[in-house]
Structure 1
Amino acid sequence: MIDYFAANLWQMWALVAIVCLILELTNGDFFIMCFSIGAVCAAVSSALGLGFYGGLLVFAVCSVLCIFFVRPFALRYLHRNDDARVSNADALIGRIGRVSEPVEAGGYGRIAIDGDDWKAVSADGQAIPLNAKVKVIGRESIIITVETVD
């Protein structure tokens, strides 16, 4: 089996490239992608007849060059609007939901938004009936502030 891998070293590098691409999907910061590009370069060099240590050198050099030259460009190009992008609970502001448990006057209720149920309070302190449509206008910790929508 070792003879097979020695004769087909490019397949090992291709496998390393695929594994790195899969790992990059879990991360998304384009760091592991550089190792995938290095593994592709090593696979090509191994297919052209370069041995294991030569492929390892090509992998290391290409990966380091990619980290210093390709990664900053990719981050700058693909994450241009990250400052304007909201995430997690802040993304709820402006969304429309349905009252799943009536909001009591001056108290709390529950609002369903895309299958998630949130504790909510009325913006004006008025009661909101069951199944009413509401819009999220604010958030304090895990409690959202809503107002009715006509």
Structure 2
Amino acid sequence: MIGFISDNVWLIWALISLLCLVLELTSGDFFIISLGAGCVGGAIASAFSDSIVIQVIVFAIVSLVSVFYVRPMALKFFHRDVNKRLSNADAIVGRTGVVTEAIAADGFGRVQIDGDSWKAQASGNNGIDVGAKVRVLRIDSIILTVEKE
């Protein structure tokens, strides 16, 4: 068994590289894949040298180059709209909904957006009837401020 491993060190590097690829799928920050690239470098170095020291040096160099030069470019390319992506309740602002319970002037009613019912108030002192289409202007806690479209 030891003889097989010492004859096929490239296989160990390749397996570790595949493990890094699988782990990268769970994180998405391109750090672990940089280590996987270093493992590929170590596997290639094992084809040319039997010295484990040279293989580890190649692994370290390729990993560092990948972390400091390739990773920032990959982050820019794949995560370019991260700051523009709204989530949760902030994504409701600007959406269109339908009034399901009349909104009285200076009062509250209900608006349905994508199957969810929200407590809503009208902007200004206008009442809005049932069935009217409204656009969400802002959200304060769990209360939407809407205007008639």
Do residues 31 (structure 1) and 35 (structure 2) align? no
Structure 1: distance between partners of 2:50 and 2:28? 31
Structure 2: distance between partners of 1:142 and 1:51? 64
| Conserved 8 A contact 1:102-1:127 | no
Shift of 1:4: 3.4
Structure 2: distance between partners of 1:78 and 1:3? 43
Structure 1: distance between partners of 2:44 and 2:117? 53
- CA 1:41–1:109 in 2, change beyond 3 Å: closer, same or farther? same
Contiguous gaps of at least 5 residues in structure 2? none
Shift of 1:121: 1.0
Shift of 1:43: 2.0
- CA 1:45–1:123 in 2, change beyond 3 Å: closer, same or farther? farther
Equivalent residue letter for 2:122: A
Q: Number of aligned pairs?
A: 144
Cα offsets for 1:2-54 (capped at 9, x unmatched)? 44333322222222222222332333332222112112211222244444443
Task: Name which one, 1 or 2, has greater alpha-carbon Rg.
Answer: 2
| Conserved 8 A contact 1:24-1:31 | yes
Equivalent residue letter for 1:32: I
Structure 1: distance between partners of 2:101 and 2:47? 67
TM-score by structure 1 length? 0.69
What corresponds to 2:120 in structure 1?
Answer: 121
Secondary structure in 2 matching 1:54: helix
Secondary structure in 2 matching 1:135: strand
- CA 1:90–1:58 in 2, change beyond 3 Å: closer, same or farther? same
- CA 1:95–1:42 in 2, change beyond 3 Å: closer, same or farther? farther
